[in-house]
C-alpha cells in the first residue's frame, strides 16, 4: 500500500487503493461503498436505486473484480489505523444461533 494523504471522503480513503487494472472500477467500488453504507441493514436491491443496482451487478460480474481486490485496500486501511494505537482489542463472539 502506498502512502497517500487522506481525502475528505472516507470511501475514497478506504477503497482508493483498490487495483483492478481500471481506475473506473476503483471509483465504482467507492461509489458502491458510499451508497451501501447509507443503509447497511438492507440488501443491495433495497439499498440501491435501479441504475446503481445494475452498475453494482456489472461491477461484481466483471472478471477483473474479485474478493481479494475488494478487501485488500480495506484491510490495508484497517492495519494502518491499528498501527496508530498502542493497544487494539479484538473481541470475538463464538456463539451460534440456529
Q: How far is CA 90 from the centre of its chain?
A: 20
User: If DSSP codes are grouped into helix, strand and coil, which group holds residue 76?
Assistant: helix
pLDDT at 74: 96
- What is d(CA 33, CA 16) in angstroms, rounded to the nearest whole number? 11
What sign does the dihedral 36-41-42-47 (CA atoms) show? negative
Can you give the three-state secondary structure of 21-68, one letter per residue? CCHHHHHHHHHHHHHHHCCCCCCHHHHCCHHHHHHHHHHHHCCCCCHH
pTM score = 0.80
pLDDT band per the 50, 70, 90 thresholds, residue 96:
confident
Amino acid at each position: 500500500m502506498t502512502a497517500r494523504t487522506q481525502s475528505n471522503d472516507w470511501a475514497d480513503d478506504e477503497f482508493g487503493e483498490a487495483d483492478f487494472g481500471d481506475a473506473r472500477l476503483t471509483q465504482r467500488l467507492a461509489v458502491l461503498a458510499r451508497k451501501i453504507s447509507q443503509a447497511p441493514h438492507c440488501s443491495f436491491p433495497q439499498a440501491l436505486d435501479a441504475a446503481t443496482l445494475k452498475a453494482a451487478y456489472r461491477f461484481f460480474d466483471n472478471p477483473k473484480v474479485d474478493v481479494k481486490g475488494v478487501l485488500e485496500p480495506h484491510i490495508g486501511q484497517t492495519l494502518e489505523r491499528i498501527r496508530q494505537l498502542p493497544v487494539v482489542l479484538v473481541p470475538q463472539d463464538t456463539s451460534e444461533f440456529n
